[in-house]
Structure 1
Amino acid sequence: MKNTQRGNRLFALLFCLILGTNSLQAQFGFSLPQGEESVEIPYQNFNNLIVLEVTLKNKVTVNLILDTSIEHTILTEKAVGDFLNFRYARKVKLGQSDDQIFYGHVAIDAQMSLSDSVKTAEMSSILVLETDYLNLAGVAGSKVHGLIGYDIFKSFVVEVDQGKSVIRLHKPESFQPTKGYQEFPMQVVERKPFITTEIVFESWEKRKMNFMIKTGASHAVFFEDDSVEYFLPYRNLEVPIGQAFGGEVLGHIGRLRSLNIGNYSLESPLATFAKPEHVDQNESTKKYGDGSIGQGVLQRFSVIYDFHHSKVYLKKNSTFSDSFEYDMSGMNISVKQAKEYSFTVKSIRKDSPAQKSGLQVGDIIESINGEKLTINNYGQYLNLFLTREGKKVILLIRRGDEKIECSYRLARFI
């Protein structure tokens, strides 16, 4: 099956969260059992994202997306924190939209465990969102409860084995990479990793560019500089690229000629271009980065992240040459959780199969191809929309008091 990509759904909101969490208390991080040099931890692959099972206070296990660009662990389910009687040290303002203010709470006793033996200290801090602003279930296509990043990367050299769906955590002082990996320098700026690449644009112009490595985003390449004004491909789509406190953020998606990292060359990768009004203006990291690369690229490698020595190691895997694909349906779905998850058409791309079928914004999707849509199978349909050009899709939707059947065939636009 071809590897796939979705647009970056975390961009704008996570940037706000990172700005709002710089004042969290320092943490000691995870540790290996005494005498162990490394340990292997399985992970789940949700919509090409790396999802770890993390146990909080030895009581509740949650699914957290592993994100190299997240400085502090984020829990989106405040009900979990309340159940565990977290000690909230303070309330943090994360952002504002009109008169609505968005808050998080800093918990200081959130011990975390990746296994029976890989744990943090009891007094460890995480950010607990007052409300699930991130809608990570919609991003991952399955149940997820937050993100985890630097708490792991500051503790270990982290090896991500995409073929076996495991991460290996190594003691930094004794780690030696196995044969087959290529070593690259990695800048770590404000605890976030950057790598230098060569981009070949549609015009054949080549540029050396620095990209933040974001394992918590499923895009391939995301430009946050002025590239949209000069290098936007002729064939492109205006699409939702993120979620801010004020609502959906639009940008453009198209194809590059290639993305080159050392001797590795990825042909015709999809690239997302932010509009100038949404470009990251944080000066401390702006001078280092032109954007980010996500799992659309990273999933094609086994990767070793060594924050301690500012190195990243890459070894291509069996999916390296698979084509990059974008959504062939043309609708953006909002996933909401009450007693059960619901799936509502949030936006529809002009001239897409979804629009031509008669779908409307606000329609609630009840089933796809005769199967009731649930959070447990939502991810497989995200994958279907990305990979099966020509496949017929039959939706049963609820519009007010009516139930209506809409059908169309998936079509590639980019």
Structure 2
Amino acid sequence: MKRVLTIGIILVMGIIPYDDGALCQHVGFDLPDHAKRVRIDFELHNNLIVIPITINNFIRANFILDTGVQYPILTEKALADLIGLTYSRRIIIQGPGENDSITARVALDVDLELPGGVRSGMNQAMLVMEQDHLNLRETMGVDVYGIIGYDIFSRFIVEINYDDRYIVLHEPKKYKPRRRYKKVDMRVYNTKPYVDVTVTNNRGQTNVMSLMVDTGASHSLLIDNPDDRSILPTSNISSIIGRGLGGEIEGKLGRVKSIEFNKFEFENPIVSFPKEGSYGSGVKRGSRQGTVGSEFINRFNVVFDYFSGTLYIKKGNGHSREFEYDMSGMTLIAAGADDFDQYRVNSVRYNSPAYLAGVKPGDIIQSINGFSFEDLRLSGATAMLRSKEGRKITLKIMRGDEDFKTSFKLTRYI
């Protein structure tokens, strides 16, 4: 009998093992017999695609679909122990975050099954993190246990419909591109896809940058070029800009004049600039200049074709929406003893609307404008706090044994 565990990532980018000799066994997902394609519905949390995967025909767990990871990753070792995975060795991996190197175990002969009967068979290798620096449940507010990427994108042509929230895995030889989609040249380097994006800074200077398309990153764009900071806006704020395999990533946020992508132009987008060293030396500088994240990608419906080196794009419903960031000054994480059914204030920016309204780190938010965690989930609350400047926000707060309400208006500070 399959046991269902329903355990997501603010920011996940590529990992690079020091020694991947233990991971070189043949891996290959297959569609069911005679199938040309399989559709899989997904949930979208903090701009990230979450799909269910059954492990060893025993436990069904949620995974992030992430173009930035080379091997499937299980972030909770306790889950691996429950399944009874066996390990061939321990390795060191590198990824973005405050911990530049982390350890993981290599599990071999793992069977992964996606909805619709898409299956790897007992030939899949998987990395199991010994310590979870991602803190997925807290940062996403939903149960997510893992990340998967290249094993799917390298086997199928992957269509992602952000509007209706489904993906289609196409057998490559059977796929025919749709006329309404525009073709973008895409390079697959070191298992990851790259496209060219033109960034214009606030002084009108343009830069054509090779950026990795990262479905596992919730930001719009991240530019990592410590030798040339001319793109960094003079008006910016310091912040935790995300979280990678190695933990939190520090940096700055600011608006550039515009971004042009395949003749689509976007004005005043918010760009993340990681602090030098915070991004992690494991993400090799020179091989890329940053990432295009899901806050940007999900303005289109897209098709990844690693075989021809093509990204197909078509305008989505959210194509014209404004780029916004939190306007409250507080960051929230999921809380609750067992079921993570509350919001907890993780930090409050000095002199921000939340700060001036008396909100403090550690406060439990019981409702936002009358909506509970069950009504909004964490991604819904985050969207509300970046929705519209001047919007009134009323919080019901529990602090120790005290319950009270406070209100403030959202203020744009980027």
* Shorter-chain TM-score range: 0.7 to 0.9
Cα pair 1:135 1:336 within 8 Å, conserved: no
Deviation at 1:309, TM superposition (A): 2.1
SS in 1 for 2:115: coil
State the Cα deviation string for residues 162-198 of structure 1 (Å, max 9, x = none): 2221111112223221111111221111101111111
Unaligned runs of 5+ in 2: 1-8
State the Cα deviation string for residues 98-119 of structure 1 (Å, max 9, x = none): 9999543222132111124210
| Cα 1:98–1:154 shift into 2, 3 Å | closer
Cα pair 2:139 2:333 within 8 Å, conserved: no
Deviation at 1:221, TM superposition (A): 0.6
SS in 2 for 1:405: strand
CA distance in 2, matches of 1:119, 1:377: 31
Deviation at 1:306, TM superposition (A): 1.1
- The equivalences for 1:3-402 within 5 A come to 9-10=10-11, 14=13, 17-19=15-17, 22-26=20-24, 27-94=26-93, 103-226=103-226, 229-243=229-243, 248-282=248-282, 285-335=284-334, 338-341=337-340, 343-373=343-373, 377-402=377-402
Amino acid at match of 2:23: Q
SS in 1 for 2:358: coil
| Cα 1:227–1:369 shift into 2, 3 Å | farther
Deviation at 1:319, TM superposition (A): 1.6
Deviation at 1:250, TM superposition (A): 2.4
CA distance in 2, matches of 1:29, 1:236: 45
- TM-score computed with the length of structure 1 as normaliser: 0.88
Unaligned runs of 5+ in 1: 1-7
Amino acid at match of 2:193: P
Deviation at 1:24, TM superposition (A): 4.9
| Cα 1:391–1:165 shift into 2, 3 Å | same
CA distance in 1, matches of 2:337, 2:179: 49
Deviation at 1:161, TM superposition (A): 1.3
| Cα 1:247–1:181 shift into 2, 3 Å | closer
State the Cα deviation string for residues 283-326 of structure 1 (Å, max 9, x = none): 8x422311000111100111111112222111112221111111
CA distance in 2, matches of 1:54, 1:181: 29
| Cα 1:345–1:152 shift into 2, 3 Å | same
Cα pair 1:366 1:373 within 8 Å, conserved: yes
CA distance in 2, matches of 1:316, 1:99: 38
CA distance in 2, matches of 1:266, 1:305: 22
CA distance in 2, matches of 1:9, 1:29: 28
SS in 1 for 2:44: strand
**Identity of matched residues, %:** 33
| Cα 1:247–1:46 shift into 2, 3 Å | closer
Cα pair 2:100 2:282 within 8 Å, conserved: no
| Cα 1:28–1:99 shift into 2, 3 Å | closer
Deviation at 1:83, TM superposition (A): 2.1
CA distance in 2, matches of 1:245, 1:306: 26
Amino acid at match of 1:29: G
| Cα 1:306–1:190 shift into 2, 3 Å | same
State the Cα deviation string for residues 113-153 of structure 1 (Å, max 9, x = none): 11242100213111222343212234434222221101101
Deviation at 1:51, TM superposition (A): 1.1
SS in 1 for 2:40: strand
Structure 1 equivalent of residue 5 of structure 2: none
Comparing 184-193 with 375-384, which one deviates more in the overlay? 375-384
Comparing 98-107 with 208-217, which one deviates more in the overlay? 98-107
Cα pair 1:202 1:233 within 8 Å, conserved: yes
Amino acid at match of 2:232: L
CA distance in 1, matches of 2:89, 2:109: 13
Cα pair 1:141 1:375 within 8 Å, conserved: no
Deviation at 1:10, TM superposition (A): 2.4
